Amino acid sequence: MSTSYDALAARFARANRVDEASGWLHWDQSVTMPPGGASARAEQLAALAEISHELIASDITGDLLAKAEAEGASSAEDPWRAANFREMQRNYLMTTAIPADLVGALSRAKNLSETAWRVARPASDFALALPAFTELVKLVREEASALGEALGLSPYNALLEQYDPGRRIADIEPVFDDLRTFLGDTIPEIVERQKTWGEGRAIKAPVAAQREAAQGLLKSIGFDFDHGRLDDSLHPFSTGTPDDARITARWNPDDALTGMMAVLHEAGHAAYTRGQPLDWRGQPVGDDAGMAVHESQSLSYEMQAGRTAAMSRYLAKLLSDAAGADITGEAVSQSLLKVSPGYIRVDADEATYPLHVILRFELEQALISGELAPADLPAAWNQRVVESLALDPPDDRNGCLQDIHWYDGAFGYFPTYTLGAMAAAQLFRAASDSIGADDLHGALAKGDYAPLTAWMRDNVHGMGRIYPSSNDLLQAATGAPLSSDAFKAHIKARYLS
Residues annotated as catalytic are 266
State the minimum distance, in angstroms, from the CB of residue 99 to its own copies.
18
Q: Which is nearer to its own copies, 15 or 83 (CB)?
A: 15
Q: Which is nearer to its own copies, 20 or 321 (CB)?
A: 20
- Looking at this protein, which amino acid is placed at residue 206? P
State the minimum distance, in angstroms, from the CB of residue 368 to its own copies.
30
Q: Which is nearer to its own copies, 226 or 438 (CB)?
A: 226
β partners of residue 249: 232
Give the phi and the psi of residue 230 in degrees, each rounded to 5. Answer: -120, 125
Closest by CA position to 187, among listed 412, 391, 447? 391
**CA 275 to CA 397: how far, in whole Å?**
36
Closest by CA position to 495, among listed 177, 185, 178, 181? 185
The sheet with strand 244-249 has its strands ordered as 230-232, 244-249, 238-241
**How many CA atoms, within 13 angstroms, populate the side-chain half-sphere of residue 13?**
10
Q: Which is nearer to its own copies, 248 or 484 (CB)?
A: 248
Please state, in angstroms and as integers, the Cα–Cα distance from residue 319 to each residue in 250, 252, 448, following that order. 16, 14, 16
**CA 82 to CA 93: how far, in whole Å?**
17
Q: Which is nearer to its own copies, 240 or 399 (CB)?
A: 240
Q: Where do contacts with its own copies occur on this chain (CB under 8 A)? A: 14, 17-18, 20-22, 24-25, 27-28, 32-37, 39-41, 43-44, 46-48, 50-51, 224-229, 231, 241-244, 246
State the minimum distance, in angstroms, from the CB of residue 440 to its own copies.
28
State the minimum distance, in angstroms, from the CB of residue 36 to its own copies.
4
State the minimum distance, in angstroms, from the CB of residue 118 to its own copies.
14
Cβ atoms of residues 342 and 352 within 8 Å = yes
Cβ atoms of residues 203 and 318 within 8 Å = no
Q: Which is nearer to its own copies, 29 or 416 (CB)?
A: 29
State the minimum distance, in angstroms, from the CB of residue 193 to its own copies.
45
**CA 114 to CA 404: how far, in whole Å?**
7
State the minimum distance, in angstroms, from the CB of residue 23 to its own copies.
9
State the minimum distance, in angstroms, from the CB of residue 407 to its own copies.
22
Q: Indicate if the alpha-carbon torsion angle 98, 380, 423, 219 is positive or negative.
A: positive
